[in-house]
Structure 1
Amino acid sequence: MAQGETALHRGLRRRHMTMIGLGGVIGAGLFVSSGAVIGTAGPAAVVAYAVGGVIVILVMRMLGEMAAAHPTSGSFSRYAELALGRWAGFLVGWSYWYFTVVAIAFESVAGAKLVSGIVPGLPVWLGAPALLLTLTVANLISVKVFGETEFWLSSLKVALVVGFLAVGTLYLVGLWPHGGTGLSTLTGHGGFAPHGWTAVLTALVTVIFSYFGAEIVTIAAAESAEPAREVARATVRVVWRVLLFYVGSVFLIVAIVPWNEVPANGEDSPFAAAIGALGVPGAKGLMSGVVLVAVLSILNAGLYGSSRMLMSLAERGDAPSALARVRSSGVPALAILAGGCAGLVILAAAGLLDPEAIFGFLLNTSGLLTLVLYLFIAVSQLRLRALADPATLTVRMWGHPWLSWAVLALLGAALLAVATSPGVGPVVLGVAVILAVTLAAYAVRARLGRTVPPVVDSLEVS
C-alpha cells in the first residue's frame, strides 16, 4: 500500500480467528446439503466426508505453510502470483471473488426464505436485500465488529453440533430414551453403499465444496494481532474440528435415521429428521433457527472475504485503485460495497428471470471452481516450498513433497471425474468460459492497465 494510505487494522484476536475458520465452513453445506450427499451415497456418505475432509485438511496445511510465512489479505491469490506469475494471481483472485459474490447472493435468499417462515407475509425479494444490507453495514463499521459478529454466530452453530454429537452418541449406546439401536441402520436398508462406490466418488465433489470456506482464516491473518502465529494455530485447529463435526454428524444421522428417509430435497434439514427421531420436541423449528444463523454467518464471511480479495487485487493493479482505499476505521469500504452491490445485481437478475435456474447454474459453476482453486493452492505450495529455506518456515506441509504431489493427483482426479460425469456439460462449459474471460481480461489489463511494481516478498521468484 502506498505511503499515506490508511492500513488495515489488526483487530482480530485468537478466538476470532478460530471461529472465523469454523464459521466459513459450518453452514448450509452441513445442515442442509448433507442430505443430498446421503441420498447419493447412502450410509457410505460417511466415507465421502472422511476422504473429502482429509483432502481439505492437507490443502489447508499447504495453505497454512504459505500463510504463516506470508500473511496477506490476498492469501492464495498472492501465493499463486508469487509461484506462477501475475496471470495466476489475477485468475485465482477474480475466480474467488466470483465464488464469494455468488455465495453472498445465494445465502441472502436462503436467509430470507427462513425469515419469511418466521415472519409470514415477508416477501423473499424484500428480505434478501435487507439481510445483505444489514451485514454489509456491520462489515463497514470495523473489522472488530465483523470478528465479533462471526464469533457469536459461529459459536451458536458449534454449540448445536456439539450438542447433537453428544445426544446422538447417548442415543446409540442406549443412554437416551428409546435408544440403544446400535449400528444396524448403517447396513439394514440396501447395504452400506446401496448405490455402489462410484456414487461415493460422485458425492465427493459436493463434499469438498461443502468444506470450502476454511480458507478465509488465511485471508483474515493479515488483520490478526500475530499473523504468523495465529494462522498456524487456526489452520491446524480448524481443519481437525471441521472433520470431526462433519464426519461425526453425518455418521450419527445415518446411524439414527435410515438413509432413504433422510431429506435430500435441499429444503429440509437431515439434522431435523435425526433430532426428531431422538424425540426432541420442535426439531424442525429449532433447525430453522440454526440454519438461519449458519446462513447469516456464511453471508457475513462472504462479504469479508470478497472485500479483502478485491482490495488485494486493487493493490496489485488488477482492479480499480479506489478499491484499495481503507477508511480510518480500518476497513476497505468501497471493496465491501462492491461485493454487496454485486450480490444485489445477482438477486435482481435472478428475481427478474428464473431464480432456480440462475442460482443452480451459478452454484454449480462456483462449486467446480473450488476444485480449480484448490489445484492452484497445491501447485503454489509446491513451487514456493522449492524456493524457500525450510529452516525459516514456522508451519510445514506434512510429508513434503510426496504428500503434496498426492494431494495434487487427488484433486486432478476429482476434477476429471466431475468433468466427465453425465449431465455436467453446461457447468463445465460455464467454468471454461469464466476462466477464459478472466484470462482475456488479464491480457487486456497487462497491455493497457496501470504499471504496478512486481510482488515484493522474501522469496526469490524467478
Structure 2
Amino acid sequence: MSDFGKIQAREAGLHKKLTSKQMSMIAIGGAIGTGLFLGSKFAIGFAGPGVIASYAIGGLIALFLMGCLAEMTIAHPTSGSFGAYAEHYISPLVGFIVRYSYWACIVLAVGTEVTAVAEYMKMWFPMMPSWCWIIGFSAALIGVNAYSVKAFGSVEYWFSSIKVFAILGFILLATIVLFGQDGGVRGGIHNLTAHGGFAPNGFWGIWVGVIISIFSYLSIEMIAVAAGEAENPEQSVRKAFKATIYRLVIFYILSLTLIVMLLPWTKLVAEGTTSPFIIVMSNIGIPYAHHILNFIVIIAALSAMNSQLYISTRMMFSLSRAGDAPKFLGKIKNNGVPLNALALSASGIAVATIVYTIDPKAAFPVMISLSMFGAMLAWFLIFVTHYFFRRDMQKQGKKLTFKVPCFPIGTLLGAGLMLAVLCTTFFTNEFKPTLLFGIPFVGCLVILFYIMRRNPKL
C-alpha cells in the first residue's frame, strides 16, 4: 500500500487560512440548519415526545462519526478527506463512489437550499419573483467562495454564530417559561407521556424519527474537508470535535425536550406552520415570532448553502487531482481557490432553479432522495474506512496522536446503525425513493469508474 503522503502532495496548493475559532464554529454550524428548525416537526409527527430518543440515537451516530473522522483527519489532513481515505485504505473504486455520490448529493442540496430561501423571502416580499432571490443570493455566496477560503471562513463563522445564539436564546426563554410562575399552565413534564404516551407510534415511530435526525445532523462531516485548509489542523480538529460533542447535546436534545414539554406533541403536529420553534414562540406570546424565525431559517439555509458550495468544490477538486475528473477542475487560482471546480459545483443551483420553475412537486422529491442517499452512504463508508484505517495503523505499528475510545465497537456500531437507517428508508412511504434512486445511481458510478479507468483520456 502506497504512502498517504502521495495523496496529500497530489492535493497540495490550497491556502491554509482557516483559524481554529472558524473551524470550531464551522463544525457546529454545519449541524444546525433547516433540518433542526423545520425538519424536527416531521420527526415529532412520527415519534411524538419520543423524538428526544430519535435525536439521541442520531446524535450517538453523529458523535461516533465525528470521532472516526477526527482520528483520520488529524493523521491525514487533506481536502479530499473521507474520499481520499476510502481510496487509500479500501480501494480506488470506493474512493470514487464516495466522492462522486457525496458531490452529487451536496450539489443537489445547494440548489434546494437557495430555492427554499426564495420561498422564505415571500413572507416579506410576496410580489417579488423567486428567481430574483435565487440569482441574488447565489451570486453573493458564489462570490464569497470565489474570493478566498478566508472569506468563506469569516462568513460561515458569523452565519453559525447567529444560529448558535438563536438556539441559546430559545433554550433560555423556553426554560424561563417552563419553570417560571406560569410554567404549570403552559406546559410541563406531563406532556412527555400524555396524548398516547412517550412513544405513541411505538419503537417504529422513534426509529423513523432517527432518519430525520440523521438528515438534521448532516454536514458535520465538512469539518474534515475544511481541515485541509486549516492553519493548524490537529489543534483545530481536536477543539472542533470536543465543541461539537457538547453543543449537539445542548442544542438538539435540550431544545427538542423543551419543545415537547411546553406543548402537547399533537398540537405541534396539528399547527399549520412548518416549524415547532415558531409554534412554541407564538404560544408563549413572543411578538413577531414569525418574522424572527423566518430570519433565522433564512440564515440557516444560506449558511448551509455557503458550506455546501465549499465542500462540493473541494470534493470535485479532489476527484480531478485523483484523475477521476477533467484536469482543468483541479487547477487553483492565485487566491488558492479551485474556481473551475466551484463553477461546476454551482451548477446545482441552475438545475434546481429549472426544476423549481418547471415542476417542483414532481422533481424535488427525486433530488432530495438522491441527496439523502449520497450523504447517508458517505456516513456509512466513513465508518467502514475507519475500520480499515485502524487495522492498517495497527499492522504497521504506527502510533496515533489522537485516538477515539471503544474501537472497534464504536466504529462497527456506527456502521451497523447507519446501514439499518439507510435500509429503513425503503420501508417508509416518505423516504422510499432514497434507495430506489440511490442504488441505480451507485451502479452507474461503478460503470463510469471502469470506463474511465480503461479510457484515461476521457
Separation of aligned partners in 2, 1:336 and 1:179: 53
Separation of aligned partners in 2, 1:39 and 1:117: 25
- The CA deviation string for residues 305-359 of structure 1, in whole angstroms up to 9 with x for no partner, is 000111011110111111111111111111111111232123213422x112211
Q: Tell me by how many angstroms 1:412 deviates.
A: 2.2
Q: Tell me by how many angstroms 1:292 deviates.
A: 0.5
> What is aligned with 1:171?
177
Kindly tell me: are residues 185 and 177 of structure 1, through their superposed partners in 2, closer, same or farther at Cα, counting changes over 3 Å?
Answer: closer
> What is aligned with 1:63?
69
Give 1:269-348 correspondences, 5 Å limit: 269-348=275-354
Give 1:388-403 correspondences, 5 Å limit: 388-389=393-394, 392-403=399-410
Separation of aligned partners in 1, 2:347 and 2:268: 37
Retained in 2: the 8 A contact 1:32–1:267?
Answer: no
Given the alignment, which residue of 376, 391, 410 partners 2:381? 376
> What is aligned with 1:456?
none
> What is aligned with 1:128?
134
Report the secondary structure of 1:262's partner residue. helix
> What is aligned with 2:4?
none
Report the secondary structure of 1:254's partner residue. helix
- The CA deviation string for residues 194-235 of structure 1, in whole angstroms up to 9 with x for no partner, is 111111111111111110110001100011111122112212
Kindly tell me: are residues 425 and 164 of structure 1, through their superposed partners in 2, closer, same or farther at Cα, counting changes over 3 Å?
Answer: closer
The yes-or-no answer on 1:429 pairing with 2:436 is yes
The yes-or-no answer on 1:141 pairing with 2:143 is no
Report the secondary structure of 2:402's partner residue. coil
Read off the aligned partner of 2:22 and give its amino acid letter.
Answer: H
- The CA deviation string for residues 53-100 of structure 1, in whole angstroms up to 9 with x for no partner, is 011100111111111100110111111111211101110001111111
> What is aligned with 1:387?
392
Retained in 2: the 8 A contact 1:12–1:143?
Answer: yes
Given the alignment, which residue of 407, 412, 418 partners 1:405? 412
Separation of aligned partners in 1, 2:86 and 2:321: 15
**Scaled by the length of structure 2, what TM-score is found?**
0.93
Separation of aligned partners in 2, 1:303 and 1:126: 19
Q: Tell me by how many angstroms 1:179 deviates.
A: 6.2
Paired residues in the alignment total: 450
Retained in 1: the 8 A contact 2:273–2:279?
Answer: no
Retained in 2: the 8 A contact 1:64–1:232?
Answer: yes
> What is aligned with 2:3?
none
Separation of aligned partners in 1, 2:67 and 2:11: 33
The yes-or-no answer on 1:364 pairing with 2:369 is yes
> What is aligned with 1:182?
188
Give 1:110-121 correspondences, 5 Å limit: 110-121=116-127
Report the secondary structure of 1:346's partner residue. helix
Separation of aligned partners in 1, 2:183 and 2:192: 20
Worse-superposed segment, 232-241 or 260-269: 260-269
Give 1:146-161 correspondences, 5 Å limit: 146-161=152-167
Kindly tell me: are residues 309 and 160 of structure 1, through their superposed partners in 2, closer, same or farther at Cα, counting changes over 3 Å?
Answer: same
Kindly tell me: are residues 82 and 169 of structure 1, through their superposed partners in 2, closer, same or farther at Cα, counting changes over 3 Å?
Answer: same
Retained in 2: the 8 A contact 1:133–1:340?
Answer: no
> What is aligned with 1:229?
235
> What is aligned with 1:454?
none
Q: Tell me by how many angstroms 1:423 deviates.
A: 6.4
Retained in 2: the 8 A contact 1:56–1:211?
Answer: yes
- The CA deviation string for residues 161-203 of structure 1, in whole angstroms up to 9 with x for no partner, is 0111111112221257886743111122221111111111111
Separation of aligned partners in 2, 1:265 and 1:409: 36
- The CA deviation string for residues 414-435 of structure 1, in whole angstroms up to 9 with x for no partner, is 2232234456554322101111
Worse-superposed segment, 179-188 or 323-332: 179-188
Given the alignment, which residue of 101, 115, 128 partners 1:109? 115
> What is aligned with 1:38?
44
Retained in 1: the 8 A contact 2:105–2:373?
Answer: no
Report the secondary structure of 1:400's partner residue. coil
Kindly tell me: are residues 357 and 186 of structure 1, through their superposed partners in 2, closer, same or farther at Cα, counting changes over 3 Å?
Answer: same
Separation of aligned partners in 2, 1:264 and 1:348: 33
Q: Which consecutive residues of structure 1, in runs of 5 or more, have no partner in the other structure? A: 452-462
Worse-superposed segment, 341-350 or 285-294: 341-350
> What is aligned with 1:459?
none
Aligned Cα root-mean-square deviation (Å): 2.2
Kindly tell me: are residues 216 and 176 of structure 1, through their superposed partners in 2, closer, same or farther at Cα, counting changes over 3 Å?
Answer: farther
Report the secondary structure of 1:368's partner residue. helix
Retained in 2: the 8 A contact 1:129–1:344?
Answer: no
Read off the aligned partner of 1:50 and give its amino acid letter.
Answer: A
- The CA deviation string for residues 93-125 of structure 1, in whole angstroms up to 9 with x for no partner, is 011111111110000011111122222311113
> What is aligned with 1:460?
none
Kindly tell me: are residues 4 and 28 of structure 1, through their superposed partners in 2, closer, same or farther at Cα, counting changes over 3 Å?
Answer: closer
Q: Which consecutive residues of structure 2, in runs of 5 or more, have no partner in the other structure? A: 1-6
Retained in 1: the 8 A contact 2:425–2:434?
Answer: no
> What is aligned with 2:251?
245
Retained in 1: the 8 A contact 2:187–2:263?
Answer: no
Read off the aligned partner of 2:156 and give its amino acid letter.
Answer: E
